[in-house]
Amino acid sequence: MPRKYGIERYVHRYGDDPSQLGELFLPDGGAPFSVVVVVHGGYWKAAYDRSLMDALCEDLARQGLAAWNLEYRRLGEGGGWPHTFEDVAAGVDALVDLDPRLNLTRVGAVGHSAGGQLAVWACARGGLPAGAPGAAPRLVPHAVVSQAGVLDLRLGAVTPPSDEPTRALLGGSPAEHPERYALASPRDRLPLGIDQLLLHGDRDETVSIKLAESYAAAADQAGDDSELRVLRGVGHMEHIDPSTTAWAAARDWLAERL
């Protein structure tokens, strides 16, 4: 039977704002550990925080993977363009100096809903132009899972129910801010050049599966190693319940690659 690890938890700050922090979940032995950057969703709104992902981080640590549960400024508390993106970039880069027990050659990422958009975007930072928010990364994950992610922001901005929060994140429509959408939308940043798993439930009424389908088609055309896996009978929130097969699909895929 595989060993189940105990868990150590540490909060680290990467900036001065109350939301510029992350919590590191570490297995209690056997370092160095592969590490997963974990990004919560909630349509980028301040009403939702990293506690949404605590149970998933605990599960990862029990399996022997470190988890970096990232918080960031959100809409209603100083977030939006470009601050949310700057925070996610800084939070990922903070891993470089965070803990010597981390194996930084084996870094993955997973994000749910709006966090799926941010997690995949964080993996595309190497292709950002100089001076753009998040450009010149110190660290880029080499495998990423999107759990019902808002992966095509241009389409998301005109597809209910993601339309209003997407426009709020970027301060307007794609017609009003085309340059922001070009820098922020994962679909616009293809190819990523890393392994990608896109999980989306066929009963999801919070983020349209059309966004995942749009991204997957573009990733395939760009030559990326991307798999869209449609989960039958699954809605939106099952992804962040560690007892579900939706979460097991994400965890096991990451474990194979890390």
- Give the pLDDT mean for 78-85: 98
- Measured in whole angstroms, the distance separating CA 127 from the mean position of its chain's CA atoms is 17
Q: What is the pLDDT of residues 85-144, one digit of tens each?
A: 999 999 999 999 999 999 999 999 999 999 999 999 999 999 999 999 999 999 999 999
Amino acid at 66: A
pLDDT of residue 2: 59
Per-residue confidence band for 6, with pLDDT thresholds at 50, 70 and 90: confident
pLDDT at 29: 81
| b/e per residue 40-67 (b: at least 16 CB within 10 A) | bbbbbbeebbbebbbebbbbbbbbbbbb
Residue 5 in this model has a pLDDT that exceeds 80: no
210 inside domain: yes
Q: Kindly state the helix (H) or strand (E) to which residue 79 belongs, with its residue range.
A: none
3-state helix, strand, coil in the chain (%, to 5): 35, 20, 40
The 10 Å Cβ neighbour count of residue 201 is 23
Average pLDDT over residues 131-160: 98
Domain that holds residue 160: 7-257
Q: How many CA atoms lie within 13 A of 164 on its CB side?
A: 5
Residue 207 lies in a domain: yes
Residue 58 lies inside a defined structural domain of this protein = yes
1 within some domain? no
10 Å Cβ neighbour count for 215? 29
The pTM of the full predicted model, rounded to 2 decimals, is: 0.97
User: Would you say residue 220 lies in a domain?
Assistant: yes
Q: What is the pLDDT of residues 96-105, one digit of tens each?
A: 999 999 999 9
Distances (CA, A) of 113 to 105, 147, 191, 228, 230: 26, 6, 21, 15, 15
Counting the structural domains of the chain, the total is: 1
Does 114 fall in a domain? Answer: yes
CATH number, residue 13: 3.40.50.1820
Residue 221 falls inside a structural domain: yes
Predicted pLDDT of residue 3: 64
Is 177 part of a structural domain of the chain?
Answer: yes
Closest by CA to 250, choosing from 112, 43, 61, 88, is: 112
